[in-house]
Amino acid sequence: MGNSRFLNARAGIVALLLTGLAAGGISHHVSAAAPAVVGIAAAIVNDVRIKSTAARQFAKAAVRQRVALADQVQTGGASKLQLLLLDRSKFTVGANARLTIDRFVYNPNGSAMSATVAKGALRFMSGRAGGGADRSITSPSATIGVRGTLLDVVVGGEAVAIARGEREVRDVDQHDPATATLVVLRGPGPRRQGNDAPGEVDVAAGGETVTLDNPLEAAYVPYAGARPIPFTISSPGVARLNDMLLQPREILYDPDAPGQPTMPQPERDRPYYDYPPPGGFGGDGPRPSGGGYGPGNIPGLNVLPTAPNRPERPTRPGRETQPMPNPGQTSTPPSDNRPTGTINTPEPTPTPTPTSTPQPSPTPTYSPQPQQTPVPSRTQSPNDDVIVR
């Protein structure tokens, strides 16, 4: 009897505690003095530095170091990073990149995250978003609304270098290596396996929004104020993205070598796509003869498709331009006025201000006069869903 009373009381206390936890969820309430931890640095290669809001200088980061809201994260040359956020969102960040998590709201009714990438390449993999999620990534020239997806973003000279190799955008005559932004949707596509929902991305820039909803659909914004140009990235372009994110040595962009990026020779044999020919890659192009992807005793591997694995996307009728504010014109932030953010707070958190404003570097290819770039009809109508406004 005494035992059962004890058990009864103990179970009741546990239930009470759990109920309290359920009501409060993860109660990291954030004060201005102590910005909330939003994730960790799960992998670090070479020189990665983090600057908290309270710090004056960047400090070298360590594996499993906590990353807080509004921390500025920076990778050096030949350096890489992976960030894991509390909602299981992931960022794999390439060399010479700068990233800030500006906003992070996480509660059972939904989650919200916004980040700013000032330069460099990153891959975003969304986490688990029950009840809907509002995620966005801001670059100096574009705002990228993310719905459950895997996407690559490149900001800066490497974006220009990749775009110059793509047949559909290589004729763009103005690029700003400081603000140019390339966005590539990598998945999940309609034929995906597993639990992840199909990915979709809205790229808003220059008053227009382009929606990407199939793997390898891409949008290029050549400078702040320009409209996004949709295209399908080629295999060589994908190879360069992979190199920037996952190869041990980064590809360097040399603005003094117009038309041809400077790329160090990697250890492996160079495949045909590493150097764009004069005038660009020109799409997928012919593949080398004798192609195959594995040992000859694996049947079927050599018959894998070498072209985009989906039919040409038809133009969507009736899609019109949707006026939107240009994020490139509104990204000047006072660093001491950054949001501290709240986790598990249903109310919307203040819209973050980007933490860094890259200064456009003078280059022969950049003109401050925005020119209207040709935009195919794959734009967004006011009736379409838009995450980022």
Q: Residue 207 CB, nearest distance to other proteins (Å)?
A: 30
Distances (CA, A) of 206 to 10, 88, 220: 61, 32, 12
Residue list 298-337, contact with other proteins (CB under 8 A)? 298-301, 303-309
Task: Rank residues 42 and 386 by Cβ distance to other proteins and give the closer one.
Answer: 42
Tell me the closest approach of the beta carbon of residue 72 to other proteins, in angstroms. Answer: 19
Q: Which is nearer to other proteins, 112 or 159 (CB)?
A: 112
Q: Is the peptide bond before 276 cis (omega within 30 degrees of 0)?
A: no
Q: How many whole angstroms separate alpha carbon 26 and alpha carbon 20?
A: 10
The half-sphere exposure of 240 on its side-chain side, counting CA atoms within 13 A, is 33
Site for other proteins in 207-226 (CB under 8 A): 215-216
Q: Please enumerate in sequence order all residues whose Cβ is within 8 A of that of 262, keeping only pairs 6 or more positions apart, or say none.
A: 252, 253, 254
What's the distance, CA 180 to chain centroid?
Answer: 14
Closest contact distance (angstroms) between CB of 68 and other proteins is 11
Q: Which stretch binds other proteins (CB under 8 A): 134-142, 160-168, 232-240, 346-354?
A: 232-240
Measuring CA to CA, how many Å separate 341 from each of 113, 117, 257, 337? 10, 18, 43, 12
In terms of CB distance, is 81 or 388 closer to other proteins? 81
The verdict on 190 binding other proteins (CB under 8 A) reads yes
Q: Which of 47, 49, 52, 189 is in the footprint of other proteins by CB under 8 A?
A: 189
Of residues 113, 150, 178, 210, which one binds other proteins by CB under 8 A?
Answer: 150
Q: How far is the CB of 152 from other proteins (least distance, A)?
A: 9
Q: Please say which residue, 274 or 375, places its beta carbon nearer to other proteins.
A: 274
For the record, the structure tokens of 364 come out as 């022969």
Count CB neighbours of 3 within 10 A.
7
Distance (Å, whole) CA 59 – CA 67: 12
**Footprint of other proteins on 109-128 (CB under 8 A):** 111, 123, 125-128
Q: Are 206 and 221 in contact (CB under 8 A)?
A: yes
Of 39, 165, 327, 358, the residue at the interface with other proteins (CB under 8 A) is 39
Residue 374 touches other proteins, criterion: CB under 8 A: no
> Binding of other proteins at residue 187 (CB under 8 A)?
yes
Q: Would you call 157 helix, strand, or coil by DSSP?
A: helix
CB of 45 or CB of 252, closer to other proteins: 45
